[in-house]
Amino acid sequence: MTSVMSGVTWSWCWVALCMAVLVVNTVMPCEYRSIDPRHTMCAFNPRQCSGKTLIKSGGVSCQMRETILNSHNKLRQKVSMGQVRGQPPAINMRTMVWDEELATVAQRWADQCMPGHDHSRNIGRFTVGQNVAAAWTFERDLGDTPDFVTQVEAWFNEVTQYGFSKGSVDPFRFNKATGHYTQMAWAETHMVGCGYANYKDPSKGYTKIYVCNYGPGNNQINTYSYDIEPRLFCVTCTVRLSTIDSGQCPIDTIFCIWSSIPLYGKTCTVRLSTIDSAIIHH
C-alpha cells in the first residue's frame, strides 16, 4: 500500500512539475517579439534540430572567440591596406569585437540544423547581417571541433573566386555571389557573434554548420562598403597590443605625426594581427 501511494504521490509531483513548466513557457513572452513575432529566438527552440540527430550544440569557447575575431580582423586589415586584388584600400575599417547577443541568436539558428539563412534576426540595437556555411561527409565523422578559420577564409575569398568589382564599393552594388565577403568587409560592421552545431543528416551525413551574425548589418544598396577617400592618417607611431581603434592614436603612442596622405610602407611600426586596420598603411 505504501509503495502504491508513493507512486501516486510521485505521479502527481511530475504532473505538477510539467504543468508549472507549461505555465512558465506560456506566460513568458519572447523578448524579441516586439521586433518580429517570427524572430529566430521566438520561432525556434534550443537544440531543436528537427529530423536530424544533434551531436553537438555550441562549442565556441573563449579561445575560439579570439580565433574568430583574429581571422576577421586580419582579413579586414588586408582590405584596409589595399592588399586584396582589385579592391581599393579602406580608410575607415573598424576592429571587430565579440558580441554575446549576436552569438546567442546565431547559436539558436545553428541549433535548427538547417543550412541557409534565418528570416528574422535583428536585435534592439541594430539590424543584423549573417554568414552561414556547412560542411558534410558520409565517409567519416568530422569530429566535434569547429573549424571557423577555414569557413571565415572561404567567405572572404569570394572576392577573388567570384569577383567583386571595385566600382561596387561606393556606391555599393550587391552581388549575391560575394555577399559573404562584403558582409565581412563592411567598414562600419564592428561586432560579430557566432554559433555552431554538429549533427547527422540522413541525406548528407555528418554535418557541421557555422553561423556568424554581424552588427550593424549591411550589404545595403545606395550606401557604401567603406570609405576610400583620404582623411587624417597616423603615419608615424609605435603601437601596442589592442591600443588602436577607429584611426585614433592612443595617448601612450610615441612619435605620432598626422598627415592627410596615407604613407604605405615606411614609417609605422605595428604588429599585423593586433591593431585596427583603419590606420596601418605600412
Measured distance CA(59)–CA(118) in Å, rounded: 21
* In the predicted structure, residue 277 carries a pLDDT above the cut 50: no
Grid cell in block for residue 39: 524572430
Q: What is the total count of domains within the chain? A: 2
Task: Please tell me the pTM assigned to this model.
Answer: 0.71
- Say yes or no: 156 and 123 in one domain: yes
The pLDDT score that the predictor gives to residue 86 is 81
Q: How distant, in Å, are the alpha carbons of 47, 87, 94, 113, 166 from that of 226?
A: 37, 11, 10, 33, 11
The pLDDT score that the predictor gives to residue 16 is 39
The pLDDT score that the predictor gives to residue 217 is 87
Which domain range does residue 207 map to?
Answer: 46-215
The pLDDT score that the predictor gives to residue 269 is 44
Band of residue 48 on the pLDDT scale cut at 50, 70, 90: very high
User: What's 269's DSSP letter?
Assistant: B
The pLDDT score that the predictor gives to residue 186 is 86
Within a domain: residue 23? no
Within a domain: residue 31? no
Q: Mean pLDDT, to the nearest integer, of 169-197? A: 84
* pLDDT tens, position by position, 65-115: 999 999 999 999 998 888 988 888 888 889 999 999 999 999 999 999 998
- Say yes or no: 204 and 249 in one domain: no
